[in-house]
Amino acid sequence: EAGVTQFPSHSVIEKGQTVTLRCDPISGHDNLYWYRRVMGKEIKFLLHFVKESKQDESGMPNNRFLAERTGGTYSTLKVQPAELEDSGVYFCASSQPSGLDTQYFGPGTRLTVL
Protein backbone atom coordinates (compact mmCIF):
# COMPACT_ATOMS: atom_id res chain seq x y z
CA GLU A 1 0.00 0.00 0.00
CA ALA A 2 1.40 3.40 -0.99
CA GLY A 3 1.99 5.84 1.83
CA VAL A 4 1.28 9.54 1.98
CA THR A 5 3.19 11.37 -0.72
CA GLN A 6 4.10 15.02 -0.94
CA PHE A 7 5.39 17.18 -3.75
CA PRO A 8 7.79 18.85 -4.07
CA SER A 9 10.27 17.56 -1.52
CA HIS A 10 12.07 20.90 -1.52
CA SER A 11 11.12 24.38 -2.69
CA VAL A 12 13.21 27.53 -2.62
CA ILE A 13 11.42 30.75 -3.47
CA GLU A 14 11.87 34.45 -2.96
CA LYS A 15 9.83 36.55 -0.60
CA GLY A 16 6.64 37.67 -2.29
CA GLN A 17 6.39 34.69 -4.62
CA THR A 18 3.70 32.01 -4.56
CA VAL A 19 4.23 28.35 -3.81
CA THR A 20 1.80 25.44 -3.96
CA LEU A 21 2.42 22.25 -2.05
CA ARG A 22 0.63 19.02 -2.85
CA CYS A 23 -0.31 16.05 -0.71
CA ASP A 24 -1.71 12.70 -1.83
CA PRO A 25 -3.13 10.77 1.13
CA ILE A 26 -3.36 7.04 1.50
CA SER A 27 -6.19 5.74 -0.64
CA GLY A 28 -9.45 5.52 1.30
CA HIS A 29 -8.37 7.94 4.03
CA ASP A 30 -11.06 10.56 4.38
CA ASN A 31 -9.11 12.55 6.93
CA LEU A 32 -6.25 14.73 5.74
CA TYR A 33 -4.15 17.02 7.91
CA TRP A 34 -1.52 19.66 7.33
CA TYR A 35 1.17 20.42 9.89
CA ARG A 36 4.35 22.43 9.75
CA ARG A 37 7.60 22.61 11.61
CA VAL A 38 9.36 25.94 11.68
CA MET A 39 13.09 25.73 12.35
CA GLY A 40 13.83 24.72 15.93
CA LYS A 41 10.19 24.59 16.92
CA GLU A 42 7.64 21.86 17.43
CA ILE A 43 5.42 20.45 14.69
CA LYS A 44 2.20 22.47 14.68
CA PHE A 45 -1.25 21.68 13.36
CA LEU A 46 -2.52 23.80 10.48
CA LEU A 47 -5.81 22.26 9.40
CA HIS A 48 -7.92 19.16 9.00
CA PHE A 49 -10.07 18.04 6.07
CA VAL A 50 -12.78 15.42 6.17
CA LYS A 51 -13.18 14.49 2.54
CA GLU A 52 -13.44 17.85 0.79
CA SER A 53 -14.67 19.83 3.81
CA LYS A 54 -12.49 21.84 6.17
CA GLN A 55 -13.22 20.42 9.61
CA ASP A 56 -10.80 22.59 11.55
CA GLU A 57 -8.62 25.33 10.14
CA SER A 58 -7.84 27.05 13.41
CA GLY A 59 -4.11 26.45 13.02
CA MET A 60 -3.72 28.36 9.78
CA PRO A 61 -1.41 31.27 10.57
CA ASN A 62 -3.02 33.94 8.35
CA ASN A 63 -4.91 34.51 5.13
CA ARG A 64 -1.81 34.09 2.99
CA PHE A 65 -2.35 30.37 3.38
CA LEU A 66 -5.05 28.62 1.37
CA ALA A 67 -5.73 24.90 1.53
CA GLU A 68 -8.01 23.01 -0.81
CA ARG A 69 -9.09 19.44 -1.28
CA THR A 70 -11.32 19.39 -4.30
CA GLY A 71 -13.00 16.02 -4.82
CA GLY A 72 -11.82 14.79 -1.45
CA THR A 73 -8.65 13.17 -2.77
CA TYR A 74 -5.39 15.10 -2.93
CA SER A 75 -4.90 18.43 -1.23
CA THR A 76 -2.96 21.56 -2.02
CA LEU A 77 -1.60 24.22 0.29
CA LYS A 78 -0.85 27.54 -1.35
CA VAL A 79 1.19 30.29 0.24
CA GLN A 80 0.70 33.67 -1.42
CA PRO A 81 2.68 35.85 -1.03
CA ALA A 82 5.37 33.95 0.84
CA GLU A 83 7.20 35.62 3.71
CA LEU A 84 10.52 34.72 5.35
CA GLU A 85 8.80 33.29 8.42
CA ASP A 86 6.96 30.75 6.28
CA SER A 87 10.17 28.75 5.88
CA GLY A 88 9.97 25.31 7.42
CA VAL A 89 8.89 21.76 6.73
CA TYR A 90 5.26 21.20 5.82
CA PHE A 91 3.90 17.77 6.63
CA CYS A 92 0.74 16.14 5.42
CA ALA A 93 -0.92 13.24 7.21
CA SER A 94 -3.97 11.09 6.61
CA SER A 95 -6.07 8.73 8.66
CA GLN A 96 -8.98 6.32 8.30
CA PRO A 97 -12.56 7.60 8.13
CA SER A 98 -13.18 7.33 11.87
CA GLY A 99 -10.68 10.09 12.56
CA LEU A 100 -9.52 8.39 15.73
CA ASP A 101 -6.97 6.22 14.03
CA THR A 102 -3.27 6.74 13.68
CA GLN A 103 -2.26 9.59 11.43
CA TYR A 104 0.23 8.50 8.76
CA PHE A 105 2.65 11.16 7.71
CA GLY A 106 4.27 12.02 4.43
CA PRO A 107 7.97 12.91 4.15
CA GLY A 108 7.27 16.63 4.16
CA THR A 109 8.06 19.53 1.88
CA ARG A 110 10.96 21.70 2.95
CA LEU A 111 10.13 25.30 2.04
CA THR A 112 12.81 27.97 2.06
CA VAL A 113 11.81 31.58 1.53
CA LEU A 114 14.73 33.89 0.73
Partner 1 sequence: ELKVEQNPLFLSMQEGKNYTIYCNYSTTSDRLYWYRQDPGKSLESLFVLLSNGAVKQEGRLMASLDTKARLSTLHITAAVHDLSATYFCAAFLGSRLTFGEGTQLTVNP
Binding region for partner 1 (CB under 8 A) = 3-4, 31, 33, 35, 41-45, 48, 55-56, 59, 91, 93, 99-100, 102-108
Residue 81 Cβ, how far from partner 1 at the closest point, in Å?
27
Q: For residue 72, report the phi and psi dihedrals to the nearest 5 degrees.
A: 70, 20
Residue 15 Cβ, how far from partner 1 at the closest point, in Å?
25
How far is the C-alpha of 5 from the C-alpha of 75, rounded, in Å? 11
For partner 1, give the closer residue by CB, 28 or 41.
41
Nearest Cα residue to 91 out of 80, 77, 73, 101:
77
How far is the C-alpha of 68 from the C-alpha of 66, rounded, in Å? 7
Residue 22 Cβ, how far from partner 1 at the closest point, in Å?
16
